[in-house]
Amino acid sequence: MGIAAIKKRFDNTSIKWKIFAVLISFCTILLVLLWLFQVVFLDSFYKHIKISTVKKSANSIVQNIDNEHLQELVEQISFGNEVCVDIRWQNGEKRVSSDALRGCLIHRMPNEERFGLFQKTLENGGELLGYYNYDSFRLPNFDTGKFKGPFPKVEHSPQQTIIFSKVMEDQNGESVFIMINALVSPVDATVATLRTQFYYIAGFMLLFATLLALVISKWVSSPIEAINRSAKELATGDYDVHFSGSGYREINELSTTLNYAAQELSKVDGLRQELIANISHDLRTPLTLISGYAEVMRDLPDENTPENAQIIIDEAQRLSTLVNDVLDLSKLQSGMQSVNLTDYNLTDSLSGAVLRMNELLRKDGYSLEFSYDQPVWVHADQTRIHQVFYNLLTNAINYTGEDKKIYVEQSVAGEWVTVRVRDTGEGVSPENLPYIWDRYYKVDKTHKRAVTGTGLGLSIVKSVLELHGGRYGVESTPGGSTFWFQLKTVPPQEEK
């Protein structure tokens, strides 16, 4: 199996079993380290510690060689560290001695060997460390058949001992020979105890680690698996699904985020359905009128009048406007719409639009008033900004009050020009204001065919102004709503 196949298989493994494998691996590593330090490297550690103890003991003796209480110090070192200490004059006469090690070599050493060790120590610069092997207190020919009952298994391993020797002079200038003997291999009973302890500890740790790994992996993976199941339900279009995560903060935050996402998706889906219904209604109405008037003009020659033909033309234009607005909105929100930026007189453009709209709607009783503090120029796409203003006017016309008045104001503050379009309608409730610009959003859920326009105007306004880097907003009270937008000004063309 290749590395890629192993990686793919690992990626497809449940998080529960990944966590379980990680925890078991961690426990295994700990057991291996424990085995290495307690069994494999035990001799090395014990030897290092023992040699360090012997050298420290020798240094302590050297510093107190002329102390009248030297014997007391030597006995303390000997019995406290399980070593033998033998201090002699150069002629071999014993000065201070303590035997705390069973089978001590230096106390059984013949004089000839002791003298030879003394010479080697001198030749080595006055300090020598030697290693020796011996089997102490062993009964190799022990016959268990002579006795009744079971006998514990006795394991004998080669015992290694060291003799540390040092030659020095006391305050009288006489040579003193210091010898310290210590075992540097752990005794068999210690090794057997540690090995038995390791087996018990390893078994317990494996069992406990397995149970703990199962519990932790289940605890960590359960909320994730629950969220995954809920997410699959959400993917099928069930927006009523609820994400319930618990156990730790990240899962709680993820659940909250996904619940919010589900709510927003539910809103978007509902608004999408409303938009489809509204657009279908707006498409059906002009098509029905066009078809009806065309059939009447075909079947009844007397009905073939300019008025009926104009109705067909008006409804066709309304249908064309609706389709164009839907395409514009799609292009703007997908980032495919480009802008043709030029410097032009915004005040003249607004004034002309208000004048044309007044002429168009005068017969219906509408009145539009335009006021401004000074003429202003902007650097923008004139066609798109005209579309923004036209859509705001259309929105105001559709929702103004019974007086049918719309007020347009232009003001300049610093480098920004602000255009406000105010109607006298019922206004928008505060809870609906944050969503007034959202795609598919409609405050009045009961569809009403606009007096003019398509009902997609505010979404187009938002997209066009964001494309220009402009600002926009709405202020609403029960006495009417004011929609506004801002663009940066530029010097008038004639001043350039």
Q: How far does CA 456 lie from the centroid of its chain?
A: 39
pLDDT in tens, 81-107: 888 999 998 888 888 999 887 778 888
Domains 69-136+155-186 and 341-495 share a fold: no
pLDDT of residue 298: 84
Q: How confident is the model at residue 228 (pLDDT cuts 50, 70, 90)?
A: confident
299 against 335, higher pLDDT: 299
**Total-model pTM:** 0.46
Identify which of 191, 197, 209, 212 has the alpha carbon closest to the alpha carbon of residue 34. Answer: 197
Give the C-alpha separation, 435 to 147, whole Å.
98
pLDDT of residue 8: 62
Specify the CATH architecture of the domain 341-495.
2-Layer Sandwich (3.30)
Mean pLDDT of the chain: 81
Task: Provide CB contacts within 8 A for 228, sequence distance 6+.
Answer: none
Q: What is the DSSP string of 33-56?
A: HHHIIIIITHHHHHHHHHHHHHHH
Give the phi and the psi of residue 161 in degrees, each rounded to 5. Answer: -125, 160
Assigned fold of 249-322: Helix Hairpins (1.10.287)
- What is the CATH number that goes with domain 69-136+155-186? 3.30.450.20
pLDDT in tens, 407-449: 999 999 999 999 999 999 988 888 888 778 865 556 654 444 4
Buried b (16+ CB within 10 A) or exposed e, 91-103: eeeebbbbbbbeb
Is it the case that residue 5 has pLDDT exceeding 70? no
Sorted by where each begins, the domain ranges of the chain are 10-40+187-236, 69-136+155-186, 249-322, 341-495
pLDDT of residue 138: 45
Give the phi and the psi of residue 462 in degrees, each rounded to 5. Answer: -60, -45
Highest mean pLDDT range out of 183-192, 265-274, 421-430, 480-489? 480-489
pLDDT in tens, 361-414: 888 899 999 999 999 999 999 988 998 998 899 889 988 999 999 999 999 999
Highest mean pLDDT range out of 91-95, 131-135, 189-193, 389-393? 389-393
Give the C-alpha separation, 123 to 120, whole Å.
5
C-alpha separations of 25 from 11, 19, 352, 429 in Å: 18, 10, 79, 61
